[in-house]
Each structure stands twice: as C-alpha cells, then as structure tokens.
Amino acid sequence: MALGYLIFTEVGEPQNALAAVGSVLLVTSLAVLEGLAVGLLQGSVLRLVLPQISRGSWLWATLAGALVAWFLGSLPSTFMGLGGDAGSTPAQEPEAGLVLLMAAAMGLFLGFILGLPQWWVLRQAVKRAWIWIPANSVGWALGMPIVFAAVDLAYMTGSAAGAVVTMTVALALTGAVVGAVHGTALIWLASQTRFGARPG
C-alpha cells in the first residue's frame, strides 16, 4: 500500500490511455506481493486446523483473487481523469463521507472477488464454505474506508516519509480489522470440517 502510494506520488496521474494502461498493470503487479504475503501467512494458519488444505492450493487461490481484485479496483481511479484536458478546471472532489461510503462499497465488491477462489479451495474441506465469501466482503467493506482515509492523511503530511508512516499504520489497522473478521469466519469454518459431505 505504501509502495503504491510512493509510485503514484512520483509518477503522477496518467495523461493518456497508454499511460493509464501501464499504471493499471503496475498496480496489478503489486498484487503479487499482497497475494504471496497473505497466502503464505493464512496458509500456515489454515494448516494447523485444516491440514487437508495444502499451502500451495491456498497460495494460488489467494494470488488469483488478489490479481483480479487489484486489477478491477485500480480501473476507476486510473481512468477517471482521462476525459478532461490539462488546462481545464479540476473536478470538485466528493465529500469525505461519500468517499468513505464508496470505499466501503468497493471493499464489499473486491472482498467478494478475493474470497471466490479461496472458497473453491475451502469447499473441498469444510461444510458451508460459502460463508467465507460474505466474510471477505464484510471484512474489506470495513477495511477499505481506513485505506482511503489514510491516503488523504498521507497527502496532508507533505513528505514521503510521513506518507509511508501513515500508510504503514493504516495497513496495520486495516489488517487487524479485516483479520478479525477473517479469523472469526475461519474459526467457525474449522468447526465445520466435513468428511465426505456435499460441497458448500
């Protein structure tokens, strides 16, 4: 997250469609870092309670979800400013409350995307694995507003170091909030371990 902020601070907003495509691809490539970190950490915890789920399958599912979610999540903001010319008056920024509401809606959608491939892995081991998908949506609906608020605070710091510190704290807080929802869901799912039951 902090790395993404620094990249866009240095590069700036894309000025044409080609630059926008490059920007989307760059942001999407950062999903590899998130997917690896989250996939490895979650996979290690999952193995303790659901040993039938391999680390490899969970890692690939997490990577797939992260890549698609980051790609879709980067499209609106990247291409939003391409319609106007450089000399025109900047569009008025939406109010903070609306931005946070939009962030929650984005988290709801992207959480679904992130959880879908992981659900496919979980359903091989537990009953009612579908619970994991809305749990992801709820977790990220709570987490994304923290990220958006932190971006505004990071810009206000006026320095790269202050921005990185702000985003790092936001990342930790977001991880705690999303992780609490994920953890609650996984604890419940672990109690649903199935032995030959119909897929959920």
pLDDT single digits (tens) 32-51: 888 888 889 888 888 888 88
Residue 110 carries which side chain, given as an amino acid letter? L
pTM of the model: 0.76
Q: How confident is the model at residue 159 (pLDDT cuts 50, 70, 90)?
A: confident
What letter would DSSP give residue 39? H
Selection from 197, 29, 35 nearest residue 117 by Cα: 35
How far apart, in whole angstroms, are the C-alpha atoms of residue 92 and residue 68? 30
Q: What would the pLDDT profile of 80-112 be if each residue is shown by its tens digit?
A: 555 544 445 555 666 878 889 988 998 999 999
b/e burial code for range 164-173 (CB count within 10 A of at least 16 → b): bebbeebbee
How far apart, in whole angstroms, are the C-alpha atoms of residue 35 and residue 46? 15
Quick check: 69 and 113 in contact, CB under 8 A? yes
Selection from 160, 158, 140 nearest residue 148 by Cα: 140
The CA-atom distances, in angstroms, between 48 and each of 2, 53, 133, 186 are: 31, 10, 21, 12
